[in-house]
Amino acid sequence: MGHYSVAHICQSLSRLATLRRNSPVTIFGNRRKTGEQFVEGVLGLARGLVDLGLKPGDVVAISALNSDLYMEWLLAVASVGGIAAPLNFRWSLEEATLAMELVRPILLVTDKSTSYWHSKFQTDSLLFLRWHVLMDGSTAFSSSSNILTTESLKKPSERSLSVNYIWGPEGATLICFTSGTTGRPKGVVISHSALIVQSLAKIAIVGYSEDDVYLHTAPLCHIGGISSAMAVLMVGGCHILMPKFEAKSALEAIEQHHVTSLITVPTIMADLISLIRTKETWNGLETVKKILNGGGGLSVELIKAATEVFPRAKLLSAYGMTEACSSLTFKTLYDPTSNNSGQSFQLNSDKRSSIVNQPACVCVGKPAPHIELKVVVEDSSHVGRILTRGPHVMLGYWGQISTRASNPSDAGWLDTGDIGQIDDNGNVLLFGRTKGRIKSGGENVYPEEVEAVLSQHPGVSGIVVVGLPDPRLTEMVVACIQLKDNWQWADLSSDHPAENKDLSLSSEILQNFCREKNLTGFKIPKSFILWRYPFPFTSTGKLRRDQIRREVTSHVQFLPSRL
């Protein structure tokens, strides 16, 4: 089978150049590019990269804020068989250096923003780097022979649409970093096919079309931002780009450009709603027709608020992971064209499978059309590890042996690291993470379930549940608690009782609260620790539960109720 029958993300460019020949495809500040201009920019940059000496399989690292040039770079590198490695501009210099040492790029592209790690980076400190490109710099800005600019690299492109694109090894086109829970960046290698089937799924389910005006709210260094951008690119929509998300800028862009679609995470949605409520009227919010939320579920309150401020928007949520090229499942939270939209204000599915004593879980919807899922059950609970396979699955972690399913019978499947089940209606129900699961007295305890119960107490502002080694139970359930302002910790054994008993908490009070909420006895924490510091998160917003467990283990014997 020849390469011409294999998917390549740049194959969408010929349609884009004709479909939107004279209408804008990208708008970045005062810079507008038609479909024809955008495609010529991509192909001109691709010719420049070939002339520079870029070869198939070479890695190009990019660290920059969102812009039309960022999109051009992603596509130009792919078109000549290179592998783009977007770096998180929010990283520390140490994290960025670790990532570059892992993938060893020959070229680094940065922008002129000076408040991030790449302004401190010395290109001569890594011997494998041959060139440094200033993405948005002018030719006059560059004085060193190995420092180039996008402008100086671009060569006049041939106006023929029959371009011979080149594939990277194994069809790889992208290295997207995920910090996991270890904190050390891991490079997830994504193929052309994965990006295309993911794009087609979003087009089918979210409903992107050539009439869409899409606002980039997510950074192009994250798989969510990249995959949604590719979907809109493939379908021929218009892209509104701003350097990074700011609620005020986003709402002004919606108003100015009549934005029809955007993606959110819970914090973005909360920021938008909060700002909208400070002003009596925001014009243009009725133009928004599609909002896709990822990165965690929206609360019922946020869903209701979103439907009020974006009254014509279909609101969906997605569950996925970088290793699966973004979204695995989708769920419609609200559809203004449906008569049953009001029934969507809930976190769990309406129709559960007939399993007795099912623990609290979150329904994340049904798998996308191309997604194959299975649940590997290890006991009689009908709950188990969620595995997936198909063209969306990563080629592997860069520089590592593939860490797909560990069981030989699961060869070819990717273990998502999540615990759940698929109910009788095909909905995926999530219970927690495999790594966080606690084995206490022979029973499985999912920290997320315990956290969901304890977080309902009015005095609790933050909660993380971990398992500590215990000679009798194997692991003991321990809860780390952050208190809300004006609340006090006053264990009954304390020599300093709380001044206000109505605003005091203790281990006994919280254990009784769990019982009142019908949490099964073996899941109720045996010990509570007052946590006085912010909980640690990775740069991609994942809780460092392993770090909390280590800290608790080292201190708990000395400080049984405070840390």
Could you say which DSSP state residue 434 is in? T
Q: Which residues contact 38 (CB under 8 A, 6 or more apart)?
A: 16, 25, 26, 68, 71, 72
pLDDT single digits (tens) 154-184: 998 665 556 789 999 999 999 999 865 445 7
Cα–Cα dist 401/380, whole Å: 33
- Residue 399's H or E segment, with its range, is none
Q: How many CA atoms lie within 13 A of 190 on its CB side?
A: 31
Residue 561 has pLDDT above 70, yes or no: no
pLDDT tens readout for residues 56-82: 999 999 999 999 999 999 999 999 999
∠ CA 292-297-300, nearest 5°, is: 100
Structure confidence at residue 341 (pLDDT):
47
Helix residue spans in 143-299 (DSSP H): 150-153, 192-205, 223-235, 247-257, 266-276
**pTM summary value:** 0.83
Tell which residue, 514, 341, 329, 501, has the closest CA to residue 425: 329
Q: Which amino acid is at 312?
A: R
Predicted confidence (pLDDT) at residue 361 exceeds the cutoff of 90: no
Are 149 and 134 in contact by the 8 Å Cβ rule? The answer is yes
Considering the chain, what percentage of its residues have pLDDT values greater than 70? Answer: 85
CB atoms within 10 A of CB 21: 13
What integer is the mean pLDDT of 292-312? Answer: 90
- Quote the pLDDT of residue 530: 92
pLDDT for the residue numbered 284: 79
Task: Give the contacts of 239 (CB within 8 A, at least 6 positions apart).
Answer: 25, 26, 27, 68, 71, 214, 216, 229, 232, 233
More confident residue, 25 or 441: 25
Supply the pLDDT for residue 393.
Answer: 97
CA dist 214 and 532 (Å) reads: 41
Residue ranges of domains in the chain, CATH in brackets: 3-244 (3.40.50.12780), 348-433 (2.30.38.10), 438-555 (3.30.300.30)
Q: What is the pLDDT of residue 144?
A: 54
Where helices occur in 412-560 by DSSP H, the ranges are 447-454, 507-516, 545-555
The residues, ordered by sequence, that sit 6+ positions from 364 with a Cβ below 8 Å of its Cβ are: 297, 317, 318, 319, 329, 331, 427, 428, 429, 430
Task: Please tell me the predicted confidence (pLDDT) of residue 179.
Answer: 64
Indicate the pLDDT class of residue 412, thresholds 50, 70 and 90. Answer: confident
d(CA 222, CA 252): 24
Say what the pLDDT of residue 309 is. Answer: 94
